[in-house]
Structures are given as structure tokens and as C-alpha cells.
Structure 1
Amino acid sequence: MGPLLVVTALMSLLATMYLGYVIDPEKNLHDFPIALVNQDDGDIRDGTPVNVGDQITQALTDRVPADKVDLRVAGIAEAQRLLGNGEVYGAILLPSDLSKRLSILGAGAVVPGDIERPAITVVTNPRTGTYATQIVQIVAQEALTQVDAEVGKQLTAAVEDELNSAPAGGTELTGAARLALADPIDVLIDPYRPLPDGTGRGLSAFFYTLLVVLAGFTGAMIVHTMVDSALGFIPTEYGPWFVHHPTAPHSRLRTLLLKWGVITVAAPIVSGIFLGIGTLLDMPLDHALALFLFSTLAIVAVGVTALSILAVFGSAGLLVNLVLFIVLGLPSAGATIPLEATPQYMAWLAAFEPMHQIYLGVRSILYFDAHGNPGLARGVWMSLLGLAIGLVLGAVATFVYDRKGLERRSR
């Protein structure tokens, strides 16, 4: 009965986390950060100052649902900083000549000559993830389509009023002119600092993170099993044969220290192997040393904590580690689908889940020039915090077990 209940509960948790994570990102959208930059200098029409950029900014602020999108009105320098740090997933840029070009377009409807429609640029941030880029384009396209239609109506009405008030009077707009005025704005998509080849369109950081977490998680499982086997705490099976060494007279704390030592030695070796394979596969590694050091720290932090959990909970620690590092970690990493497009409890998990912290650090190194603000600083100190928790948990628990005479031997 016990195994049935455990399997059922684990699979229910898996279904809740993974299906809830991926099924409807647009419905789950909340606090999705996009910058809005209005550079329009305005224009003078019939002696009256006009600034279409201000009107569009107000319309977007009013119409974009605030519960779904965090629209941040900013200057161009601030927007570039936010994009560069990965703090926004994209930006909408209104050009400095927006009002002037619309005036020229209106005049061009009745005066011969070549003209161009003004363009609003939607800047995406591919370094924050492919799906985030798609959401930016969807949100911006929907909002700007409405804005384009409203501006078109106002421009058409203004041109018609001007024609009707002209000395000749009664001049009609042609069909082609009406079509041009009804759709006066071009929307351009422009990626900010496009990713180079060899990054999997922004997925390489996630899969590298997965490698690091698995190295610590599965490495801890392997070290735990092989050390316990060598010390005689559990038998080692080879098909139908098994070997059971004499039980070594080691305390729980001493055994745990030995396991910590093995995973600590293995971490830089594995981290170096990951770098070597990435290099062979032509993966861009502009900050290889930073990636090596951070990956080593993360592997040690995950491995030490996983070993401590096994020391505290015994065999049940396998399940605890699986849930902590994998079941809850993958969907709350914010790597494939941004956290702002997942159920809000994912963001709560991401505040402490190891995989999210490691992903922020790896992404910062691979895509944001190893700067601290995009996530490396958080990844480092959260890894150190996790390592400290693992060390204290394991050392205190095994010390108490030893003091109470709870030795690892059959009873």
C-alpha cells in the first residue's frame, strides 16, 4: 500500500507542476515587464502643438491590462539598461519624428510625391528566452493594432476637415489615400543584441543549468550509494550476485564528511568536462572561467545539500531530493517559459528553488557578459546560502545522531 500511495502522490505533483506550467501561458500572464519609450518631439499643425507620441503613450498605458503587463514608461537610456540587464523582455519605441511623419503622410494624401509611413519599433530581448520574445510580439502587436486604427481615424478626419475648409472645397479623398491614412503606422520588430549561433535560440543556458543540477543531484546519489557500499553499510549487487563488505567503524558525521569530500573533488572535474564538450560543439563561451567557477560552486552546493538530506532522512531522502531539485525545480526555473507567464505559485517557488538561482547565474554568464545585475550576483550568493544550509543541516543532524548512539548497523 505504501509504494502505491507514494507513486500516486509523486505523479499527482508532477502533473500539477508540469501541466500547470505549460498549458496556458497567455492566461497565466501577470506582471510581464515591457518598456515604453516615447521620443516623439511633436509637431505644429495649423499653429497648434501636436504630440502623437504622448497620445499613443497614454492609450497604451490605459489599454494594456495592468494585471498582465507591467508597462514601464522610460527614457531610451533607461530602456537600454533594462534590456541589457534582462529586467524587461522587450520595449516599444516611439520615434522622435512620429508626429512630423504623420503630418507629412496626411499632406501626402492630397499632394503628389513619395512618402513613407512612420514606424514604431518593437524591440525584443532574445537573451531572456524565445517564448518571452513571442509574448512581447503578441502583446505589442495587439496593442499597436488598436492604436494604429485610432490614429488612422484621427488622421483621416483631420485631412478631410482640411480639404473641406480649403478654398476649392468639397475635394474627396481617393480610395488609395483612405487606405493609406487608415493604416498610417508601420510596426517593426528589432531584436536587441541578437544571440549568436550555437546558443540554441536562447535554450543553451537552460540545458547547461540542467547539466549542472543533474551533476550535483545524481552525483550525490552515486557518491552516497558507492561510499555506503564500500564501507559495508549496504550490499553492492551485480545482476544475481552481490558483495557485502564488513561494516566500517565510521560515525555518521565522518561518513558524511567523506561523501562531501568526494563530491567536492568531482565538481571541478565535471565542470571542466562540461566546458570542454561545449567548446567541441562550438558553443560560445566568452567567459569560460566564470562559467567554470560558478558551475563548480553550484555542483558542490547541490551535491552537498543532497547528501545532507540523505544523511538526515535516509532512503526517504531520495524522494525529497527528487522533489526539491527536479520536480519543483524544472517548471519554476523560468527558463523556457518566463515566470510571468506561469501560475503565480511558480514565482514563489523560484524565490528559493536551486534550479532557478543556477539558471540566472548561467544565463548571465552566457548571454549578459557575466555581469552581476542580470542574475550572476543572485546566483552566486544563493548558491553559497544553499551550500551553507546543506553543511549546517548535515553536520548538525549527523552529530546529534552520533551523540544519541544511532549508529548505522542492523538491529
Structure 2
Amino acid sequence: MTVRTFTAPIALLAVFAALLATMYLGYASNTEKNLHDFPVALVNQDVGETIGGTPANIGAQITDALVAGVPADKVDLRVVGIADAREQLKTGQVYGAIIIPSDFTKRLAILGAAAVVPGDVERPVITVHTNPRVGPYTTGIMQRIADRALRQVDATVGKNLTEQVHATLAAGAPEPAAATDRISGAARLMIADPVQVIDAPYRPLSDGAGQGLVAFFYTLILLLAGFTGAMIIHTLIDSVLGFTPTEYGPWFVHPPATGTTRFHTLLIKWAVIGAAAPLLSGVFLGVAAFLDVPVPSPLLLWLYGTLAIIAVGFTALSVLAAFGTAGLMVNLVLFVVLGLPSSAATVPLEAVPSYIAALARFEPMHQIYLAVRAILFFDGRAEAGFSHGLWMTLFGLTVGVLLGSAATIAYDRRGLNRTAANEVPVPNGVAPQAC
């Protein structure tokens, strides 16, 4: 026993803990501060109205005010038509939409007139569509953005409407005070707060979708099937081939090494995970059906799930073949520690620190999540993330195959077989078997 026996694992755990804290605490905290480029559609359908002989379009004024008032560095406010807004909501390209209806100015004019002349009246409405299919946390962010922006709009419109009503009444009143007295208390409240904001989810999800969390957890089980499956297969195959011992409680089994090359060993492991992947994907699909989880395209989900498990499993096995025992830590960091925060499955990338958002460009979990979410919630549409997720999964599989093949073939050609002849001595005299 040496000092290094204690300090090496403690130092490794300290670095691992720091990485965990940086990723997960940074991911979950300060979403308002980290908000950037949050995509929101703004639609003005208002056709305007003639008020007092003058054409007016309050909807256009509100649109200009929102564009000027919403922080451009935090919110990507896209002024589009209603058809474009619906298309972008359908494909998850925007996380919400603010809709100003065609009769907005007309209703506002009627509301102002009703403060003087009694009659039935309806407040002008602005609809805020959230997009729950993108992710559960995006709904709350969208509602907060819309609430802050429209609260100021409502106050400004109410102030202008109140001044307009007072001016109209003052024109026919002997004294300004008399004009104010002609407005009832209820009418004053109505014109001071004239805009009714309606929150409405666009294409709401069924209860079985878990408010959008089903896509995240389905992604997680696919990734874990490939990641943990690779760990299990790696250990069991190495044990069967005699490269590592196996313990069953107090019993110890270590058959003689078969002498199989590193590359052929990796091919055997790939074959096992490849054979298991369609079965595992089918099990997940069957459990989803048993639990009444809505799956609109089961065949597509089964096929993609099989591909995702193979891609993750092949890559994880290649990392183990290339780096040996250290590959366990590499796989853990690559697939889990860095993968969960950058997946965008709960908190969107637009609300996390930039260093986490940057990981989503290559992290496997994010690519799998985009494809799974598109299949479950967006009819498997390519532009909703399925195309990107599919090609990135194939790219990851290619990288994994190339890494594993190159590393094991290179080791074999250099004569670095997994035999006692390649044991590496260490300073304390213990000679671990080369892996």
C-alpha cells in the first residue's frame, strides 16, 4: 500500500465531482440570466379600423412596440404570418406564438365607445400559444416572456384609451371634471385594463405523454440500453474469452485466455449488441403500449430505437477497446455527464449556459432526443428534428466503428495481444495484465 493508492482515486473523484457540479448546477440554475435566442413567433392579423374619422391599426402599433421592447439578445422574435407561425409551431421551430386577431382595433374602439354609451362589449383579445411538444420547461419560459411584454402593452393601450375617452367626453362637457364623472367605476377599470390575454397550448398533448417528458425518458432508456449494454457485454465476453476473471460471490472463475485478437473480440461484442438492439427496442415499445403511452409511429420508433442502441453500443465498446479500463470513465462522461444537461430534453438550449449549449452539437443524447421527440410529437417530420437526429446518429455510429476498428487493428499489428507477454510492470512491483 502506498500514498498513491489513496490519492489517485480521491483526485479522480474530485475532478469528476467538479465536472458534475459544473454541468448539472449550471444547467438548472439562472435560466433567466442564460436565456438567449428563444424563438417566438409574433403574428399581427389586425386589419385596423377608422376611429373618429382617422384610420388606426393598434395591432401594428403593438407589434412595433413588442419588437422594440423585447430584448433581442434573449428572445428571437419572428414577425410572421399566421400560416408560417402554425408551420413553425408544428415543427418545433418556435417555442410559442403571440397572435393579435383581425378585429383587435375594432374591439378596442367599441370598448372605448361603450365607456360612454351603455351596451354589451367584449374586450380585445391577444392569444399566447405555447408549444408543449417542444419540452415541458419551455411553456413556463414562454408564458413569462409573454406576460412581461404584454403587461406593458396593456398598460400603454389602457392609458391611451382612457385619454381618448376623456377627450371625447370633454368635447361635450362644460367642465373637465364633469367628463370624468360620466365614466362609471367599472368602465374606468375596463378601459384601464382593456386587453384580455388568453394562454392556449398549441396542439396540446394527451395525459400519456407526461407533459412532454415521455420523449426525454424514452431517449434516456435508449441511450442507457446501448451504454450499459456495452458495459455488460464487454465484461461478459472478456470473461468467456478468458481475458478477465469473474467473481460469483466468494467464487472466482478465470478460464485460460483463448488468444482471440482484439479486433475479432470487438467484432464479437458488436455482434452481440447488434443482435440485442432490435429486441431491446421492441421491449421498450411493448412497455410503452402497455402503459398507454401514445406512439403514433411505432414501426418508425422501433427502427430508430434499434439504430440508436446500436450506435451508442458500438461507440461505447469501441471506447473500451481503445482506452481499456479508462474507457469506463470516458463513456460515463460522454454519454451521461455531458449528455443529460445538453440534451435539451427538459430545459431548452436557449436557457442554458453557452458552454452547455455548445455540447449539443455532438453529444449523442441530444441527437437521439431530437429524433425521438419528432417521432412522438411531430409526426416524424424531417424538419422537426428527425432528419438531423437520424443523420447525426448514423454519423456517431460511423465514428464509433472507425475508432474501434482503427484502434484494435493497430494494436494487433503491433503485437499488443492480450497475453501475459504484454503485462506492464508498475513501480510497486504489481504487474497488471494488459487489456
Gaps of 5+ in 2: 1-6, 424-435
CA RMSD of aligned residues (A): 0.9
Matches within 5 A, 1:321-336: 321-336=331-346
SS in structure 1 of the partner of residue 341 of structure 2: coil
Instruction: Work out which of the two has the higher radius of gyration on C-alpha atoms and give 1 or 2.
Output: 2
C-alpha displacement of 1:248: 0.7
Q: Which secondary structure does the structure 1 equivalent of 2:99 belong to? A: strand
Which of residues 368, 375, 379 in structure 2 aligns to 1:369?
Answer: 379
User: Partner of 1:307 in structure 2?
Assistant: 317
Which one-letter code corresponds to 2:308 in the other structure?
A
Once residues 46 and 113 of structure 1 are traced to their aligned partners in structure 2, the CA distance between those partners, rounded to angstroms, is 19
User: 1:166 & 1:345 partners in 2: Cα distance?
Assistant: 64
User: Which residue matches 1:32?
Assistant: 38
SS of the residue corresponding to residue 249 of structure 1 reads coil
Aligned match for 2:9, one of 3, 11, 20? 3
Cα deviation for residue 45 of structure 1 reads: 1.2
Q: Do the aligned partners of 2:47 and 2:57 also contact (CA within 8 Å) in 1?
A: yes
CA distance in 1, matches of 2:314, 2:190: 65
Deviations 1:362-387 (A, max 9, x none): 00000011111111111110010000
| Per-residue deviation, 1:346 | 1.5
Q: Secondary structure at the match of 1:126?
A: coil
Structure 2 residue 283 is matched with structure 1 residue 273: yes
Do 1:203 and 1:335's aligned partners in 2 also have CA atoms closer than 8 Å? yes
> Which residue of structure 1 aligns with residue 56 of structure 2?
50
TM-fit CA distance, 1:349: 0.2
Instruction: Supply the distance in 2 between the matched residues of 1:378 and 1:347 (Cα, whole angstroms).
Output: 16
Select 2:219's aligned residue among 173, 184, 209. Answer: 209
Among 231, 234, 242, which residue is 2:241 paired with? 231
- The 5 Å alignment of 1:2-401 reads 2-166=8-172, 170=176, 171-172=179-180, 173-401=183-411
Deviations 1:337-373 (A, max 9, x none): 1111111112110011000000000000000111111
What code does the residue aligned with 2:119 have?
A: G
Distance 2:301 2:39 in 1: 27
Q: Cα distance, 1:166 vs. partner? A: 2.7
The code of the aligned residue for 2:368 comes to: I
Matched position secondary structure for 1:122: strand
**Partner secondary structure for residue 121 of structure 1:** strand
The residue identity in structure 1 corresponding to 2:148 is: E
Q: Match of 1:35, SS?
A: strand
- Is the 1:38–1:75 contact (alpha carbons within 8 Å) kept by the matching residues of 2? yes
**Structure 1: any 5+ residue segments left out of the alignment?**
none
- How far the C-alpha of 1:177 sits from its partner, in A, is 1.8
CA distance in 1, matches of 2:174, 2:302: 77
> 2 CA distance for matches of 1:141 and 1:270?
45
Distance of 1:378 and 1:339 partners within structure 2: 16
TM-score normalised by the chain length of structure 2: 0.93
Deviation at 1:175, TM superposition (A): 2.6
Shift of 1:2: 1.3
**1:170-224 alpha-carbon deviations (Å, 9 max, x no partner):** 4223332221110000000111000012111110000000000000000000000
Q: In the TM superposition, what whole-angstrom CA distance separates every residue of 1:95-119 from its partner, at most 9, and x where no partner exists?
A: 1000000000000001011101011
Give the whole-Å Cα distance in 2 for the aligned partners of 1:315 and 1:296. 27
- Please tell me whether the aligned partners of residues 372 and 386 of structure 2 are also in contact (alpha carbons under 8 angstroms): yes
Does residue 1:406 correspond to 2:412, yes or no? no
Q: Is the 8 A contact 1:163 1:169 kept in 2?
A: no
SS in 2 for 1:187: strand
How much has 1:168 moved relative to structure 2? 6.2
For residues 356 and 299 of structure 2, what CA distance do their matches in structure 1 show? 31
Distance 2:154 2:308 in 1: 49
Q: Deviations over 1:99-143 (max 9, x none)?
A: 000000000001011101011000011101121001111110111
Query: SS where residue 119 of structure 2 aligns?
Result: coil
- State the identity as a percent: 61
Q: Which runs of 4+ in 1 moved over 2 A?
A: 166-176
Q: Separation in 2 of the partners of 1:120 and 1:166? A: 33
